[in-house]
């Protein structure tokens, strides 16, 4: 029986084969917890939606499938609801979600994004230059963190060292079940310590920005209000965490998975090098193909029947983006990486009112990375086996040894 909570499936197995079988045979799949076989309110298992249309429709019906209980299974120590419920953008429902989104969105307006673009470009250019000088390296650690570090530096007003430190904290928070982040601690202890250290860093930034306001995210949220009520300190902290973890944690995994895809499909890499006009479709195909944020969690607010299965009010329901984006009914030749794919209505960023607020920033980061790789004519080859993150929430490579050279027609 398929168990989407079995992390071995995501490190040593083939989750795409598992999702393919579920789409075919059990599109509304009850995934019990260990030793649990019954669904229903109070059960510790969860429902899994794996077909594109079902996932899409569940995103759109945000009243039926609530976000208030948190988007990650096991991401909080509170079992009834995420500790950020109602205070963080991704863990809230309308009207609170809409009002909060209006404030957080100010950090993604053109002026700040233009500055971020310049910083990201500089970081990417320097990292690729170092990798070419060395003839290769570990793309997952040497290059992939640089685009989100550039975005963090611009959005939070940080230097590169502090931005990379914040990125390392968000990575250990998301990857808390991976042994590489344990260092003798238990996974729950890693989760808590990472969150606490991030909050400490954010508290320091808040104190600094209170004394000397700027145009960064922290200053924006300190001046934010909902219906005339200023954001509470918790709301500022949780939404800073939301932005820091959201796009900035998925992007490095997307970058590494993109390079792995080009290594596995060298013809697609040549197409992009030879035709810069393919950049836009290549970026969207990278997001469809990698679907780094594998799922989001929702909770049913009332009983509903779907494909003959009764989902009861209070049941956890997971929307598997990574499966939906390989659905054969939606994407012709879905298991083929194709930089010319169009149309490409993937849902790597969700859809509806909860579409990822950092989507444009992520597109910018990956776009700059692919453009620079193509402009320089860089070819990557595998230099050793990759390592996968031990997580069913974030699909990513923690290690990607590569050889990097300039293609002969560009040298």
Q: Which CATH number do you get for residue 309?
A: 1.10.630.10
3-state secondary structure of 137: strand
> Do 286 and 258 meet the contact criterion of CB atoms below 8 Å apart?
yes
Write down the pLDDT at residue 182.
66
- The answer to whether residues 87 and 234 touch, using CB atoms and an 8 Å cutoff, is yes
Asked whether 288 and 281 are in contact (CB, 8 A), the reply is no
Separation between Cα atoms, residue 333 and residue 348, nearest integer Å:
18
Number of structural domains (the chain) is 1
- Res 79: pLDDT: 43
User: Count of alpha carbons within 13 Å of 49, Cβ hemisphere only?
Assistant: 28
Distance CA 13, CA 9 (A): 4
Whether the Cβ atoms of residue 30 and residue 265 lie closer than 8 Å to each other: no
Q: What is the pLDDT of residue 34?
A: 67
| C-alpha–C-alpha distance, residues 169 and 190, integer Å | 10
> What are the start-end ranges of the E strands in 205-363?
225-226, 229-230, 295-300, 304-306, 309-311, 316-320
Tens digit of pLDDT at every position of the chain (411 positions): 899 999 999 999 999 999 999 999 999 999 998 655 444 444 579 999 999 999 999 999 999 999 998 898 864 433 455 667 788 999 999 999 999 999 999 999 999 999 999 999 999 999 999 999 999 999 999 999 999 999 999 999 999 999 999 998 988 888 888 888 766 778 888 888 888 999 999 999 999 999 999 999 999 999 999 889 999 999 999 999 889 887 677 999 999 999 999 999 999 999 999 999 999 999 999 999 999 999 999 999 999 999 999 999 999 999 999 999 999 999 999 999 999 999 999 999 999 999 999 999 999 999 999 999 999 999 999 999 999 999 999 999 999 999 999 986 654
Residue 3 domain-assigned (yes or no): no
Please check whether residue 345 lies inside any domain of the structure. Answer: yes
Is residue 28 situated within a structural domain?
yes
Residue 403 belongs to a domain: no
Going by C-alpha positions, the residue among 353, 295, 292, 284 that lies closest to residue 61 is: 353
In angstroms, rounded to a whole number, what is the distance separating the alpha carbons of residues 132 and 120?
18
Residue 405 lies in a domain: no
Neighbours of 321 (CB within 10 A): 26
Q: Record the pTM.
A: 0.93
42 domain-assigned: yes
Token pair in block for residue 37: 């076989």
User: Is 1 part of a structural domain of the chain?
Assistant: no
Nearest partner of 302 among 291, 315, 290, judged by Cα: 315
Give residue 42's pLDDT: 45
Examine residue 410 and state whether it is found in any structural domain, yes or no: no
Beta-carbon contacts of residue 48 (< 8 Å; ≥ 6 apart) = 4, 22, 28, 29, 30, 31, 295, 317, 318, 320
Domain span at residue 317? 8-398
Angle, in degrees to the nearest 10, between helices 279-290 and 266-274:
150
């Amino acid at each position: 029986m398929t168990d989407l909570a079995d992390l071995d499936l995501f490190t040593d197995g083939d989750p795409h084969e598992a999702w393919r079988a579920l789409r075919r045979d059990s599109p509304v799949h009850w995934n019990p917890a260990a030793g649990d076989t019954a669904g229903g309110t109070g059960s510790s298992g969860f429902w899994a939606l794996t077909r594109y249309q079902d996932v899409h429709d569940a995103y759109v019906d945000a009243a039926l499938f609530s976000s208030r209980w948190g988007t990650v299974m096991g991401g909080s120590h509170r079992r009834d609801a995420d500790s950020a419920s109602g205070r963080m953008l991704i863990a809230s429902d309308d009207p609170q979600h809409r009002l909060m989104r209006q404030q957080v969105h100010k950090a993604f307006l053109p002026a700040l994004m233009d500055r971020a673009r310049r910083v990201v470009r500089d970081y990417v250019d320097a990292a690729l230059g170092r990798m070419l000088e060395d003839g290769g390296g570990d793309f997952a650690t040497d290059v992939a963190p640089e685009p989100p570090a550039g975005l963090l530096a611009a959005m939070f007003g940080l230097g590169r060292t502090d931005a990379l430190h914040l990125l390392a904290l968000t990575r250990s928070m998301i990857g808390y079940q991976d042994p590489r982040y344990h260092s003798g601690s238990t996974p729950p202890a890693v989760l808590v310590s990472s969150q606490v250290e991030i909050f400490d860093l954010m508290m320091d930034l808040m104190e600094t920005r209170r004394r000397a306001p700027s145009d960064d995210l922290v200053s924006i949220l300190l001046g934010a209000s909902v219906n005339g009520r200023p954001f509470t300190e918790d709301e500022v902290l949780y939404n800073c965490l939301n932005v820091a973890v959201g796009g900035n944690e998925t992007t490095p995994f997307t970058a590494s998975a993109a390079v792995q895809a080009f290594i596995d499909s060298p013809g697609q890499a040549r197409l992009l090098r030879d035709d810069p006009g393919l950049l836009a479709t290549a970026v969207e195909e990278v997001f469809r193909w990698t679907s780094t944020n594998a799922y989001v969690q929702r909770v049913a607010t009332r009983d509903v029947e779907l494909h003959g299965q009764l989902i009861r009010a209070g049941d956890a329901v997971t929307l598997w983006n990574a499966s939906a984006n390989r659905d054969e009914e939606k994407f012709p030749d879905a298991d083929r990486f194709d930089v010319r794919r169009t149309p490409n209505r993937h849902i790597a960023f969700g859809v509806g009112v909860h579409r990822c607020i950092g989507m444009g920033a992520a597109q910018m980061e990956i776009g700059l990375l692919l453009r620079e790789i193509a402009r320089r004519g860089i070819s990557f080859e595998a230099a050793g086996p990759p390592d996968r993150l031990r997580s069913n929430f974030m699909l990513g490579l923690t290690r990607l040894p590569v050889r990097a050279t300039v293609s002969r027609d560009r040298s």
